[in-house]
Every structure is written in structure tokens, then in C-alpha cells.
Structure 1
Amino acid sequence: MRGLGFALALLALTGGAAGARECPPLATAPLAEVKTQAPGQRVTVEGVVTGVFLGREALGGFYLQQAGAPEPAAVFVFAPRLGARERRGIEPGVRVRLAAETAEHRGRFQLSAPARVEVCGRPGLPDPVPLELPADADRLARLVDVKVRFDQPLTVTGNYLLARYGSLDLAAGGRLFRPTNAPDGDPAANARRRIVLDDGSYRAQPEPIPYLDAYGSRRSGAVIEGLTGILAHAFEEYRVHPIRAVHFDDANPRPAAPPPVPGRVRAAAFNVENYFLSLGQRGARHAQELERQRAKLLAAAHGLEADLLALVEVENRAEALTDLVRQLNRGAEEAHWRAVPVPQPLGTDAIQVALVYRADRLEVVGAPRVDTDPIHERPPVAAVFRARAGGAPFLAVAVHFKSKTGCPARGDIDRGQGCWNQRRTAQGEALAGFVRRAAHEAAVEDVLVLGDLNAYGAEDPLRVLDEAGLVDLVAARLPPERRYTYVFRGEAGYLDHVLASAGMAERVRGVAIWHINADEPPHLAFDGRRDWYAPDPYRSSDHDPVLVGFD
């Protein structure tokens, strides 16, 4: 926003070039031809200034544009050493003539070291070129550096780099979903619908962070109308540096509470994003961060009003789970929350899954079970519960499959479903067998599987579990636009699942995803910007919790 604010301020200026004279006739090079020349050539060009981003905190230059057929041509002039007097004349809408050197910077053409900068009148700003997504790749390439306008609504589909680089991912036609979130996903179509909203700067850590709302957020799902700016191509993506103020329609406001979920029993799957007592490991770096993490997680957990929580990413030591249960009980007259007891440490990973429950509402029947198949670094945990208010017992299983990160050089590489898909599929097969055995041994028919499978809805692990007779409740009960718990590189999808046996699915009264985390930018997390931190449920984790209600 630093560069954007400077450019918008310049739009209001009237001095410097108000009385600019016409320059004497001189042969100048067409910009379209200039941009084909090799670096190091000295050229003289003339054009209208369309965007000004001068200053060390901005792009350090300005854009020139010439009329042309069928479309205009434009170029970025890198001018960090432009003198103060010449800077005063560089305003949007003035015509400028200058001599400069052709250059490339990180693969981007530009003019550098401008000299003899003359202001040659004020013809006014050219009309923006209408641009609509999805756009032909050749047309986008031709319009690089040109002033454009999007007359279609654009939806914020990602905000991961907002605090780091001042940019938002936008998409035409609504937010983007992971291609494997549903059977009909199309990666190429996603790429054609996408554009980056930048801030007139490529510097890291912008101050202030641009585009924030009153809460210090800018949620995915917000909508922009009439975006106008300079089209650029940088860091392998097309992006727009706005030259007018950007206005957002808060089309996806923060949900104060989960959507209504009927049923006498409520269970939730919740990835708590590395709840560690060991400071400086995966979770909090110091005691103050741990307190901030606790406050956010408790706000989310209590807001779910669940009777049973399947927790993911708890540090794999008994003290961490004990502490988390203690925090859940803090302030209550009676300590109702309890953890299902299992051997500690559990498995070979640094994190574990856990089942915690309200003992005043549920009782554990028999001994808990752990899937000891070595395919699992984080073994699934199962227990049979019965509601104290009545109803048939059910088997609940907490799971966390292998992540898509840490890809190998060969073998189980990414073939469209992320790396380690073969491992996750094998984990799905092992889980299906474990569920059958556990249900048979406990003499129960109704099964509920909850957790982070690190697999989207149309990927192989879900296919395996579907073939084993487990119903994907998110796919069965929620519309496609609500099926997400996580956002990665601007694409949403659900990694967190609630699956049910056929009989259990008939008992289900409702399913919901509480979108408190995936839509929020990461600088609001417990380890993010302290000036925007709040002890509320928003960005308490990087995953949204999934809630199911049943009788």
C-alpha cells in the first residue's frame, strides 16, 4: 500500500506540469518496438504517464503508455535517482519524453537510467483497456504495463502473502477450489481465472499492511468491483498495481458462531496447528506466544459447543495433552473435559491425535484402541462412546494422515494429488481395516471417523474409504461452495473430514464447517503481528473445524 498511497496522492496534484509546454517535434521510438530490443540500447521515447510509483518504498518508477492499434503499448521506467525537480513533473496524465536504456530485471523489460526528462503537455489519462478473466495468455502478455480495468467482480481467493508482500490473490467467478476437491476440477481453468492484486511495491513487510478491514483482516471471499490499475507480470504471475482506491464488498463476513447443527450429540474435528509445550519447536516460540495460542484455541473450542473433539497436531507427549485438557476446564465449576487415555508417546512423529470429551455428556465404553499398523507415524485413536442422555453407542476414531509436504525426489512424488499420495492411500486402507476390527470387537455398528486426512474430497484416500463403506459427510451434506477447511496458494479445499458408517450417517442431523481460520490472513495468528492480535477464535489455527450433530 506504500506505493499505492503515493500514487493516489499524486493523482490529486495539479502543480508541476499544469503549465507544461508542448515539446518540439522529435523522432521517438514506438514503445511496442522498444520492448523487443536487447538490453543496453539507448532509446528516446514519449508517452503518457499512467501510474506513478516513485520512492524507495514503491516500485521506484512510473509507467508510460502510447496509443496503438489494436491495443496500446506501455513500459515501466525505473527511475530511483530521478531529481526532485523532474519528479515534480511526473504526474498521471502528463505526456513525457525521455531518453533511457533498455534493460531487464528478473525477466521483466524496463527502461532504466532516464535522462533529459521533458514534460510535453497534459493530454489526460487514457481510458483503461477492458480486461476480463479468463483471458487469453497472448492478450495478457500484450497488455503488460498497460492501464486496464476489470468490469467483472473479482473475489479474494487467497491472502497468505498480504502481510509479507502486500498482495492478495483474486479470481473471477468466485473463489478458486483445489482441482481435486471435487471430481470435475480443472487446474488450467483455475490458472486462467486468477490475478494478483499488488500494492505498487515488491518490497517485503509493507508498513502499514494494505487492504485491511477494521479487524486487521481481509478475508477470502471479499469482492472487488471495477479494479483499475497497471497490469504487470512479476514473480511468474500476472498482477495489478491499482491506480485508484480499491473498495471491498465484505461478502464473506466473519461468522460469530458455527452454523446451526441440530442433534443431541455434537462432535468436531479440529486441527490445532501444533499445540506444543516445548517452546521453540513447531508451536509457540516463547511463553507469551503460548498464552496467545491458548487463548485463541479456547475461544474456538468453546465456541464449537461440542461434546467430543478429535484433535490433531498436539505435541506427542503426555504433558501437552494434559495441559490442553486443563485449559479446556479452566474457569469451569467442574472439570468436565477429559482425554481418552492412550499410551504416551503415541507413534513416531512429533505430533499426535487425541480424543477429548465432556464426561458429563458422554461416557467411554470399554478400553480405547490404537491402530499400531506401522504405515501410521501418527496412529489413529479409537474409543466407544455412549451419550448419557441415551442412544446407541458409537465408535469415534481420530486420524491424521501424512501431509503433502517434504516431497521425495523419486517414488511417491506429486502426480496430481500432492506427494505421499500412495502413502496416504495405504493409510486409508489400513484405517478401513482398523475400523472394521474395532467395531466388531466392540460390538458396535455406528462409526464416526474425524480428523485431517491431508487429502481433498476427490482424492484416492477418500475413494478407498468410500469403498470401505464410510460416507463423506462434508460432500453429502454441504454445498460445493462451503466444502473447504484450508486454503493453499489461493485454492480452497477440505483436508479435514467427518466420515460415518451407513448406520451412523442415518443418525446425523447436521454438518457444518466453522470458517474461522482458512479465510483469515496468517498475520492474525498467535505467532503473527502482535499489533493485530486478539484473543478470539479467528485464525486460531490454519484449518477450519468441522462439526457434526447426531442423535
Structure 2
Amino acid sequence: MPAHSHRRPAAVGAAAAAAIAAGLLAAPGTAGAAELRIHDIQGDTRISPLAGHQVTEIPGTVTALRAFGSARGFWVQDTAPDGDPATSEGIFVFNGSRTPDVKPGDSVLVSGTVSEYYPGGSAAGGQSVTELTKATWSVVSSGNPLPAAFPLKPSTIPGRYAPETGGDRNIERLALRPGSYALDRYESLEGMRTRLQDANVVGATTKYNELWVTAEPHENRTSRGGTLYRSYGDQNGGRVKVVSLIPFAERPFPEVNVGDRLTGATAGPLDYDRFGGYTLQATELGEHEHNGLERETTRRQSADELSIATYNVENLSPKDSAAKFARLSEAVVTHLASPDIIALEEVQDDNGSTNDAVVSADATLKKLTDAISAAGGPSYAWRQIDPEDDRDGGQPGGNIRVAFLYNPERVSFEDVAGGDATTPVTPVKRDGAVTLSANPGRIDPQNPAWEDSRKPLAARFTFRGEPVYVVANHFNSKGGDQGLDSRFQPPTRSSETQRIAQAAIVNTWMKSLLDLDPKARVVVAGDLNDYAFSPALDRLTDGGVLTDLVSRLPRGEQYGYVYNGNSQVLDHMLTSRSLSRADYDVVHINAEFADQASDHDPQVLRIRP
């Protein structure tokens, strides 16, 4: 949990005034309250009616302790609930960087200030966490049994995800309806002990020692055991993040893959986290049951098939370990069967994140192609265009760009001068044949839509005497978008506007090529950072100039990326009408696994031009 250095109490409403009048709450600056309980503090909305007020001698039992980091404290839960499912009986007592002198099973009386804390800050759009801060407490007795944990399962998680409200879309003021909405159910359990039994893993263990499980294992299930994010209305409310409060020396955090299970009980207080939303802080972890998920291998192309792949290699630079280059090489040679052309995304410059004037990526690409050759693959050549320094977004200093690898024994490439960082490439007729003004060349690189974003790279290859155009893309990221679990519903997708504009540029370029050659064989590929059902993909395929191949796969296979337990598609391969018989495959080797060479799965298609 992030440091609590920017805690600002929410405004105190009429409910607090009513509580004061009723004698349940002391007026600000005075002492004493009559029989105030945790459920009175939590209230039946997302914001405490007592926020900003001091409360005294709130009774409860300590259920869990966070004894590390700068957000230490403990969770306390009332063992005499009020029977209202909308009012939580648990709360976190924040103690800064000091380890509190309590232990689970202690019966305590806690005094402090009711606060609303927004992980990541209020502007991030997430939910708040009701807490007690500036707290003091006394231990009444020890060794008491913990309250029973609320079971998270299909019958307790509503199918609808979130309420909606007009105007500012802020759902904080709405009364919680835990029987109607998944987000309301989780909010009504904030701070309380919850439990999942035999939990299915839908998001692999990350480097931050967290994983994702689902309370609804049959919800939009993928073919390999994940949960498919298939529309803006299918948020998959069963997803819950799991972290551990158990010391790792006592119980190492499990390294799990999608499709594995945590058998038995996984239990602890329910918290809210900036990175992932509602989070079970486990004091009990189920046993890791391996499902034996294997990395996929695509078939090799036949002699008359041209194979084209796309792969986001995640900030690849010469500074990366030999192990990463070996893993990427294994993916190319073994799992992708040495494609004839590869569109790469996130290729960094020759000194990676060092923020200087270096923009060349020859050293990066040489190290990769040498590793592929050493792994038994072809001796790939490469083509790319160096970006302007610090103009294409990504990691500062990294100068990420898209690039092509191609096998010169299978594919020929005619270099046409004129392509650089700022000159647009256009389809032209030359000597009676359609070609490109530069090969390779960037599409409309000075258009404002590409500000702080990678510019598409178009190239014309020849396979068995036939020209094939490939456009490599890496659209702007989703940074700044509100999360699915936002307190604003529906959440704002602010980054989408730029991707729609980028898609329109590529679509217009495609139409200009097809105007000259209606039968042009074109593959548009890359990390588009958006879904098959998104407005950006609608704009890219406008007029039927392109077909998004992921939509042709069985529904349970339409993904290549896993985020917060949702299996989804961000990388795409699209083809023009003349390539209607493409054989397409998402090759699952990364996204579902704790051990990743990249967070994206590569994709490959095979065509007969």
C-alpha cells in the first residue's frame, strides 16, 4: 500500500450532525460517544458519515496486522454486527511506519480520527478507504476467536458490476446495494474478513508478490482457465487481488500461473489498493495446485506461405540480461517457428533508459538477431527508422520504436530512400506499379495525434514475386484512464481520444493505398493498446478496409494480455480484403505465466499472397 502522506478527510455531511445530535458522536474537539460501533463509522455509502471526526473507544477484535512498510496498522472487526449488509463491520487502524503492539485475537477499544484515504490520490478516480488515524487503543483481552470470514462465491457476488449515476458519475453518494452490484458488495465488506474457497487463479503472480483469483470460476472463462474481458459491460466482478500478510520467511508467496488453484481457504481482511482495486490481505493462503499450463507453439509455415508475426518485446535494450534475449530468441525460433517477417514493438535505443541524445537501435537489434541465430533461427535483417529524441513516449531516454525483422532467404526488401523521422510515407505509382514513396517510411509522423507516441512504420516486402505491405504500430497507452473499479461509473477512458485519432490516420492511409491498388495485400499489426470492441478498432476498420483477425478466433481464445485478472486483447493483426484466407494464431507464452519474457503474447499469421 502506498505511503499515507497525503491523507485528506472527506467533507462531513448531515449524517455526522445527526449522529452528534443523537448522542452517538462527540462534537469536534470534545470527548465521548455513546455506544458508537464500526458499522456506524462505515455507514451505508462509500464515505463515512463521520469523516473528519474523532471517535472514542470503538470496540472490536483485531483480525490482521500489517507489520511492514510505511502503512502499518491493523484491522479490527466488530463481533456484534448490526445485521445491515450495506454497513461494514471492519475498519483499518493506520499507524504510520510503526508496528502496532497488538495481535490477532486481541479485543480492543480504539480511539482516533475517522479519515477517508484515496490510494494514489483523489484525482486518480479510485475508491476511498475508511480508516481510523491518529489512533490510540487499549487491549481488553487476548486469544479471542476471529469473526467468521464472509464467503466470496458466485451466490454472494452480483452479476452486475457497478451502479451508474448521472452528472459527475460519482457513485460515492449512493447507498450501497451489495445484493445488486459487485462493487457495492466489496465496498460493504471493506475491512472485514473475507474468504475464497479453492480459488481459481486468473492473473499470474507478479514481481510485486500479488496474484488474481476469481470468486466466479465460470464467469467468461477462457480456454486456458482465465477470465475473458469481452466488452465494456463484462467487467468480471468475481476478480479479486490477493496479497499476503504472512511473513515470506514463514510462507513464501506462491508463484502461480493462470489456471492454477489455491486449494482450501484463502482468507483475510478486504482492502482497496491503487493498483488493482479490492484486495484480499491474506492471513491464510490456500495450497498451490498446479494446472500444468504449457506454453504454446504455432505450426511452421509451408513453403508457399508467408508468415508474419507481431511481438511487443517490452523495452528491449542492450542493457537487458542475456536471459531475456535468450527467452525472446526461443520464442521466435521455437514457439513462433521462425516467422518470415516480425513487427517488433518497444525496441529501445542502443543505451536503453540512459537519457541522452542516442536514438540508434542498431546495437539492440543486432544483439537480438545474433541471439536468434545462435538459437538456430534464421539470420534476420532489420529495417527501422530512428525517432526524434524523446518524442515517441515510453520510458524516458529509451526512445522506443517499432521495427521489422525479416528473413532475406525467404523475403526480399527493396530499400527506397527518403524515410526519416519526420517525412510521411505515401503510396505512389512508379513505372506503372504501386509502391511506397520511401521504404520503409513513417505514416504522417508530424500529425499531432502521434504526440508522445510511436509512429507507424510501413514497409513493402516481396514474397515469391508478390508485394506485401506490412504496417507496424504501437498506439498510445491507456495511462490516465480510470480503472474499472473507479468511483466514477462508467469510468473515463481519457486516453481513447488519441487512439481513435491514430486509428483514423492509419485507416486513411490504407484507403489511399487501396485507391491505387484495390487488391493490395496489406497486414496492419502491432500493439494497438485497445480492445477488439473499442471505438479505436472500429475507426481503424472503418469502411471494411481491414479485418481484425482476433474476432475470427473462438471466443475463449480472443486474448493475448492479462491485466488485473482480465484476459484481454491489446495486440492485433488486421488484413486487407485480398488476404481473407489468413491463418491466424495468438501464441500464449507470456501473459498467463509468472515467468515472462514480456507481458504480451506474440501473434502470427500465415498467408498465401
Q: TM-score, normalised by structure 1?
A: 0.68
Q: Aligned match of 1:199 in 244, 251, 254?
A: 244
> Alignment partner of 1:66: what SS?
coil
Residue 311 (structure 1) aligns with: 344
Residue 43 (structure 1) aligns with: 57
Q: Aligned match of 2:520 in 436, 441, 445?
A: 445
Q: C-alpha distance in 1, partners of 2:149/2:480?
A: 44
Alpha carbons of structure 1 residues 109 and 70: separation in structure 2 relative to 1, 3 Å: same
| Structure 1 runs not aligned, ≥5 long | 1-26, 278-283, 408-414, 522-537
Residue 269 (structure 1) aligns with: 310
Q: Give the ranges of 4+ consecutive aligned residues of structure 1 lying more than 6 Å apart after TM superposition.
A: 34-38, 77-83, 175-181, 206-209, 332-335, 439-443
| Structure 2 runs not aligned, ≥5 long | 1-33, 44-49, 118-128, 159-177, 350-358, 393-398, 417-438, 482-489
Amino acid corresponding to residue 193 of structure 2 in structure 1: K
Q: C-alpha distance in 2, partners of 1:443/1:68?
A: 70
Q: In the alignment, is residue 364 of structure 1 matched against residue 407 of structure 2?
A: no
- Would you say how many aligned residue pairs link Structure 1 and Structure 2? 460
Residue 211 (structure 1) aligns with: 253
Residue 53 (structure 1) aligns with: 65
Q: C-alpha distance in 2, partners of 1:494/1:142?
A: 32
Cα deviation digits, residues 112-161 of structure 1 (max 9, x gap):
43325334x76x555433342235455544433433333584543365xx
Q: C-alpha distance in 2, partners of 1:246/1:76?
A: 24
Amino acid corresponding to residue 268 of structure 1 in structure 2: A
Q: In the alignment, is residue 291 of structure 1 matched against residue 322 of structure 2?
A: yes
Q: C-alpha distance in 1, partners of 2:229/2:41?
A: 45
Cα drift, residue 426 of structure 1: 3.5
> Alignment partner of 1:150: what SS?
strand
Q: After superposition, where does 1:27-426 map in structure 2 within 5 Å?
A: 32=39, 40-43=54-57, 45=59, 51-53=63-65, 55-56=67-68, 60-61=73-74, 63-68=76-81, 70=83, 73-74=89-90, 92=105, 97-104=107-114, 106=117, 107-110=129-132, 112-119=135-142, 124=145, 126-131=147-152, 132-134=156-158, 135-136=178-179, 139-151=185-197, 153-157=199-203, 159=205, 162-164=206-208, 166-173=209-216, 174=219, 182=230, 184-186=231-233, 190=235, 192-200=237-245, 211-213=253-255, 218-224=256-262, 227-235=265-273, 237-251=277-291, 253-255=293-295, 257-260=296-299, 263=302, 264-277=305-318, 284=319, 289-303=320-334, 304-305=336-337, 306-314=339-347, 315=349, 316-317=359-360, 319-320=362-363, 322-324=365-367, 326-328=369-371, 330-331=373-374, 336-340=379-383, 344=386, 349=392, 350-364=399-413, 367=416, 368-373=439-444, 374-375=446-447, 378-387=455-464, 393-405=467-479, 418-426=493-501
Cα drift, residue 97 of structure 1: 4.5
Q: C-alpha distance in 2, partners of 1:469/1:514?
A: 25
Cα deviation digits, residues 194-243 of structure 1 (max 9, x gap):
33323128x9xx77995333xxxx33444445544233333464332334
Higher helix share: 1
> Alignment partner of 1:544: what SS?
coil
Q: C-alpha distance in 2, partners of 1:172/1:116?
A: 35
Q: Aligned match of 2:587 in 511, 514, 525?
A: 514
Q: Aligned match of 1:481 in 556, 562, 580?
A: 556
Q: Percent identity?
A: 22
Cα deviation digits, residues 90-129 of structure 1 (max 9, x gap):
565xxx554432444645334943325334x76x555433
Q: Aligned match of 1:471 in 547, 550, 559?
A: 547
Cα drift, residue 472 of structure 1: 0.9
Alpha carbons of structure 1 residues 180 and 45: separation in structure 2 relative to 1, 3 Å: closer
Alpha-carbon contact 2:228-2:556 (below 8 Å) kept: no
Q: TM-score, normalised by structure 2?
A: 0.63
Amino acid corresponding to residue 129 of structure 1 in structure 2: F
> Alignment partner of 1:454: what SS?
coil
Q: C-alpha distance in 1, partners of 2:114/2:38?
A: 15
Cα deviation digits, residues 56-100 of structure 1 (max 9, x gap):
5795446444144537945556786776xxx6xx565xxx55443
Cα drift, residue 473 of structure 1: 1.0
Cα RMSD of the aligned pairs, angstroms, is 4.4
Cα deviation digits, residues 288-341 of structure 1 (max 9, x gap):
x3534423322322232222111122235252465246424543789631124x
Q: C-alpha distance in 2, partners of 1:154/1:332?
A: 36
Q: C-alpha distance in 2, partners of 1:60/1:544?
A: 39
